[in-house]
C-alpha cells in the first residue's frame, strides 16, 4: 500500500506541474510537465522520496493504492495524470491491457534492436557456466556485459527461446 501523507502545499505544488486542456470538461490527458523518468512517467518528490506522478494523482483524487496493485492508464500516455484515465490493476492486468491494445513488444533475442548477444553467445554462456569453471562475473567480462545480464541468461529469464 502506498502510504504517503500529502500536505496541502504538496498537493498545490503537484497540480502546478500539470498542463490542463484548454477546454474544460473534455476528456483529454492532463500532461505532467515536470521531471519524467526515461520511459515517460512523471515523477514527483515528497520529502526525500520520488513517487510516480500518476500515483500521486490517483491517491489525492480517488484514494489509496492497495498492496499488489498498480495505477494503470486507459489512455496509454505515461505522462497523463487525469484521474479519469487512471485505474487500479495488478501488473498482470496492466500487461494484458497492453497486449490487447497491441503495444506489447514481440521483439526478443536477436530480433530486438538493442540486443548485445546473439544466439551462439547465449549457448556458449550457458555451456561455460555449466562447467563450473567460470563465475558469472568472469563470463560477463568475457562478453563485455553486466553480471546481472549473465545471471538472467543462465537462469533462462532472458533468451528463453534458446535451448
The per-residue pLDDT for range 70-103, each reduced to its tens digit, is 999 999 899 999 999 999 999 999 989 887 887 7
Q: Could you please report the per-residue DSSP string of 39-84?
A: TS-BEEEETTEEEEHHHHHHHHHT----TT-EEEESS--TTB--GG
Summary mean pLDDT of the chain: 91
CATH 3.90.75.20 domain span(s) along the chain:
8-100
- Interatomic CA distance for residues 11 and 150, integer angstroms: 43
pTM for this predicted structure: 0.63
Answer whether 159's CB lies under 8 Å from 117's CB. Answer: yes
Task: Read off the pLDDT of each residue in 5-33 and give the average, rounded to a whole number.
Answer: 90
Enter the C-alpha cell of residue 150.
549473465
Backbone φ and ψ of 30, nearest 5°: -105, 110
Enter the C-alpha cell of residue 61.
483524487
Answer whether 20's CB lies under 8 Å from 83's CB. Answer: no
Say if residue 67 is exposed, middle or buried (CB neighbours under 10 Å; 0-12, 13-18, 19+).
exposed
Task: Read off the pLDDT of each residue in 58-74 and give the average, rounded to a whole number.
Answer: 94
pLDDT of residue 86: 97
pLDDT of residue 2: 59
Answer whether 93's CB lies under 8 Å from 44's CB. Answer: no
Q: Is 8-100 in CATH node 2.60.370.10?
A: no
pLDDT of residue 1: 52
Amino acid at each position: 500500500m502506498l502510504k504517503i501523507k500529502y500536505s496541502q502545499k504538496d498537493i498545490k505544488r503537484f497540480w502546478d506541474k500539470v498542463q490542463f486542456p484548454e477546454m474544460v470538461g473534455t476528456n483529454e490527458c492532463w500532461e505532467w510537465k515536470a521531471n519524467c523518468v526515461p520511459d515517460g512517467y512523471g515523477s514527483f518528490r515528497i520529502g526525500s522520496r520520488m513517487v510516480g506522478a500518476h500515483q500521486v494523482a490517483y491517491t489525492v483524487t480517488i484514494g489509496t493504492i492497495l498492496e499488489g496493485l498498480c495505477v494503470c492508464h486507459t489512455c496509454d500516455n505515461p505522462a497523463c495524470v487525469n484521474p479519469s484515465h487512471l485505474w487500479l490493476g495488478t501488473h498482470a492486468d496492466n500487461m494484458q491491457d497492453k497486449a490487447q491494445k497491441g503495444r506489447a513488444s514481440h521483439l526478443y533475442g536477436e530480433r530486438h534492436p538493442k540486443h548485445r548477444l546473439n544466439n551462439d553467445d547465449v549457448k556458449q554462456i550457458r555451456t561455460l557456466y555449466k562447467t563450473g569453471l567460470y563465475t558469472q562475473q568472469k563470463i560477463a567480462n568475457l562478453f563485455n556485459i553486466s553480471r546481472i545480464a549473465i545471471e538472467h541468461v543462465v537462469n533462462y529469464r532472458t533468451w528463453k527461446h534458446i535451448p
